[in-house]
Amino acid sequence: MADKKYDVVVVGLQCIDIVCTPVAHNVMDGETTVVDSARLMLGGDAQNQAITLASLGARVALMGVAGNDRLGDVLLNQLSAFPIDILTRREDVNTSISLVLVEDKGDRHFVYQPQSNQALSYRHIDEDAVRNAAFLSVGGCLTLPGLDGEGMLRLLDLARKAGTRTALDFNVTDYMLDRATLKALLSRTDYALPSEVEARALTGEGKDPAEMVRRLRALGATNCIIKLGGKGCYVAADGYEGIVPPCPCRCLDTTGAGDTFVAAFLYARTRGWDILRCARFANAAGSIAVEHAGANGGIRSAAQVEARMA
Ligand SMILES: Nc1ncnc2c1ncn2[C@@H]1O[C@H](COP(=O)(O)OP(=O)(O)OP(=O)(O)O)[C@@H](O)[C@H]1O
Ligand SMILES: [Mg+2]
């Protein structure tokens, strides 16, 4: 939609990651664990998406909350290096921080302090920016207690009324919305993009992606794309249904692969490509992300991702 100011407005989790590589599974057994690398990076689902979208060349704005503390200064300072309209607001809370412990096969574990992300609510939403975007993408649905529920429904309604298409990615903890709210949420979502684990938590289905989709649709979802890690993705969208196989790669760190996938998928959608090409582009971007340490930064351009597809 060339008449809109933004391709994608991203809302949700922003934090500082301290990425430690490699960390053995039994880290708690000893007193000190020495790692090869411990780096301060930007993280959080929405922030990761925004950075990838900007690197792909999309026009992007980001909304979230950072604290009025030194970590918040660091976050905004690092973020300003990217061509992103930063609509992030600050509150008197501690900026969220995540200790990312990456195992040598690439699996990761988080130690997460969520305060600034928990502060995000509808009053932080720049309504004009949402109206002026081809897509609204929420990163971290179900781990945004100030927005999940009523605020999220209002946000999705705002978008849809303005002709802004909506995309939801999730994060699961022990918390789950009640079925009625989940239904209200998914029925306002143009593209639901859960990971396999999240789809399982949302639907109760153990492993069959087709059955997960059937249940997501019973909950009101229309287009569903389930991220399947090293198995690629399952697409049930725009008239197509089936597995789209992954791009072969050497997996180093899976952190942020899902966010990279979502960003690439939305970028592809805004180009008007058919659904299979969008899914293949997103798989290619995800495969580049897992070869790169940290939650974002692996993607440098759309041409790089297209080269991986070939
Ligand atoms: N080992 C792998 N080989 C090839 N592609 C991969 C691999 N792991 C991930 N991908 C790509 O990245 C996408 C997203 O990965 P995954 O399913 O792990 O997302 P996620 O669980 O949401 O991750 P996160 O929330 O940590 O960002 C996959 O759908 C796939 O396209
Ligand atoms: Mg994810």
Complete domains list, the chain, with CATH: 6-25+36-309 (3.40.1190.20)
Which ligand gives the minimal distance to the CA of 170? Answer: 2
Is the minimum distance from the CB of 140 to ligand 1 under 6 angstroms? no
Q: How confident is the model at residue 95 (pLDDT cuts 50, 70, 90)?
A: very high
Q: How far apart are CA 61 and CA 24, in angstroms?
A: 37
The predicted model gives 52-63 an average pLDDT of: 98
Distance 257 CA to ligand 1 centre (A): 5
Q: Which atom of ligand 1 is nearest to the CA of 48?
A: 27
The predicted model gives 133-144 an average pLDDT of: 96
Is the minimum distance from the CB of 294 to ligand 1 under 6 angstroms? no
Q: Is a pLDDT exceeding 70 seen at residue 272?
A: yes
- Among positive and negative, which fits the CA dihedral 126, 128, 131, 135? negative
Which ligand gives the minimal distance to the CA of 12? Answer: 2
pLDDT at 256: 92
CB 55 within 8 A of CB 300: yes
Indicate the top mutation candidate among 195, 224, 260 to test ligand 1's pocket, ranked by most ligand atoms within 8 A of CB. Answer: 195
Q: Average pLDDT over the chain, rounded to whole?
A: 95
CB 78 within 8 A of CB 290: no
- How big is the chain, counted in residues? 310
Distance 161 CA to ligand 1 centre (A): 32
Is the minimum distance from the CB of 49 to ligand 1 under 6 angstroms? no
Distance 30 CA to ligand 2 centre (A): 30
Query: For residue 51, which of 64, 36, 38, 67 has the smallest C-alpha distance?
Result: 64
Distance 3 CA to ligand 2 centre (A): 30
Burial of 96 (0-12, 13-18, 19+ CB in 10 A): buried
Ligand 1: residue whose CA is nearest its atom 25: 258
CB 56 within 8 A of CB 264: yes
The predicted model gives 75-86 an average pLDDT of: 98
pLDDT at 120: 98
Is the minimum distance from the CB of 114 to ligand 1 under 6 angstroms? no
pLDDT at 1: 52
Q: Is a pLDDT exceeding 80 seen at residue 300?
A: yes
Q: How confident is the model at residue 211 (pLDDT cuts 50, 70, 90)?
A: very high
Q: What is the pLDDT of residues 162-196, one digit of tens each?
A: 999 999 999 987 777 888 999 999 999 999 999 99
Is the minimum distance from the CB of 256 to ligand 1 under 6 angstroms? yes
Is the minimum distance from the CB of 290 to ligand 1 under 6 angstroms? yes
pLDDT at 2: 56
Ligand 1: residue whose CA is nearest its atom 18: 229
pLDDT at 71: 98
Half-sphere exposure of 158 (CA within 13 A, CB side): 19
Which residues is 78 bridged to in the sheet?
Answer: none
